[in-house]
Amino acid sequence: MEMFDDPARWLPFTFAALMGVSILVYVVLDGFDLGVGVLFPFATDDEKDTMVASIGPFWDANETWLVLAIGLLLVAFPTAHGEILTALYLPVAIMLIGLILRGVAFEFRVKAPTPHKASWNAAFLVGSLMTSLSQGFMLGKYIMGLESTLGTWAFAMITAVFLTVAYSFIGACWLILKTEGALQAKAVQWARGGIFGLALGLGAVSLATPLVSARIFDKWFAWPEMLWLAPLPILSALTVLLLWRSLSGLPNPQDKGARTPFLYSIVLFVLAFGGLAYSFYPYVVPEKITIYEAASAPESLMIILVGAVVVIPMIGGYTALAYTVFKGKAAELRYD
């Protein structure tokens, strides 16, 4: 392919792909632990401890994917980075404050004097909610081309709610996998409730995106692209059905199929993300700046790529190690 002859073309593409992968990994991984936070009000105090224990060893590394994603945007597409983040100034600030509250609550809730625990639990919930809602809001604004009108605002409010539902759904699926007994039974109920919101949200975003942008409309509803894009919505619908089926068999005494909902929900996230990525390519700021216009100098991208090729497999390796060390049902978190 001629694209690979010219570093000024394949480097930005590679970096856009890397960034996409980090965002996707972030949304799945921090998605489930944010979701666990959003589900806090429905759990008893003991259950809250188990819920936190199920994500305790992972949340920090999960958030690092956000740092990587934003870092890649910053380093590979500096002009777009400025444009996007200044346009999203307030929601970004809300998200950051949410992440702060949540991140410190992990530690404070067990280290502060016992009477304060309830307040830190509340901080954990509020932080998780602020983060999920503002991320959903930013997604909506981004889909709407970062325009600020009443309509885009309303749309962004809707995506805010849907993304939060999606996170709590994958959070519930994670809990089905990591817990047992009464909490697991509850988590199955939460997941069953969440699946409708999830399907609705997917539908709404899929419909709205081509409607607001003629360019995206043309990308999807042209022949023959339609043919090989058709599997995307069909597979998504199928996955939702499979999810529903796998949930109806749970919980069961042998704990059979406890992983299935979580795996299916990852598939669903991947499909949804794939659709969005297809819609926006080659733009990094929708309808304004393409990845090729925004990219840093090739020599700078090259030096990062060299590091990335060496380091990212290592990151994968030790992440796998951590998930192996802490596999199985969540146990009480202890330092000894």
Residue 299 partner contact from ligand HDD, other proteins, none using kind-dependent CB cut-offs of 5 to 8 Å: other proteins
Q: Ramachandran region of residue 181, left (φ > 0), alpha (ψ -120 to 50) or beta? A: left
Shortest distance in whole angstroms from residue 334 CB to other proteins: 7
Tokens matching residue 280: 């926006």
Site for ligand HDD in 33-62 (CB under 6 A): 60
Residue with smaller CB distance to ligand HDD, 67 or 320? 67
Nearer to other proteins, 64 or 217 (CB): 64
Rank residues 70 and 247 by Cβ distance to ligand HDD and give the closer one.
Answer: 70
Rounded alpha-carbon distances, angstroms, from residue 328 to 64, 109, 225, 323: 23, 24, 43, 9
User: Three-state DSSP class for 284?
Assistant: strand
Pairing of strands 283-285, 289-290: antiparallel
Tokens of 112: 């502060």
Among ligand HDD, other proteins, none, what binds residue 222 when CB lies within 5 to 8 Å by partner kind?
Answer: none
3-state secondary structure of 47: helix
Binder of residue 68, out of other proteins, ligand HDD, none (CB less than 5 to 8 A by kind): other proteins
Cα(205)–Cα(224) distance, rounded to whole angstroms?
23
Residues in contact with ligand HDD, shown as a per-residue x/- string from 58 to 77 under the rule CB under 6 A: --x--xx--x----------
Contact partner at residue 196 from ligand HDD, other proteins, none, CB < 5 to 8 Å by partner kind: none
Least separation in angstroms between residue 234's CB and other proteins is 36
Strands (E), the chain: 283-285, 289-290
Output the smallest distance, CB 84 to ligand HDD, in A: 17
Q: Is the distance from CB of 307 to CB of 314 less than 8 angstroms?
A: no
Which structure tokens are listed for 222? Answer: 């042209």
Give the nearest distance from C-beta 23 to other proteins in angstroms.
14
Q: Quick one: tokens of 85?
A: 């983040």
Choose between 8 and 67: whose C-beta lies nearer to ligand HDD.
67
b/e map 246-271, b = 16+ CB within 10 Å: bbeebbeeeeebbebbbebbbebbbb
Residues whose CB falls within 8 Å of the CB of residue 326, separated by 6 or more in sequence, listed in order:
57, 58
The binding site for other proteins (CB under 8 A) comprises: 56-58, 60-61, 63-64, 66-68, 70-76, 78-79, 81-86, 89-90, 92-93, 96-97, 99-104, 106-108, 110-114, 296-297, 299-300, 303-304, 307-308, 311-312, 315, 318-319, 321-322, 325-326, 333-336
Rounded to the nearest whole angstrom, what is the least distance from the CB of residue 114 to other proteins in the complex? 7
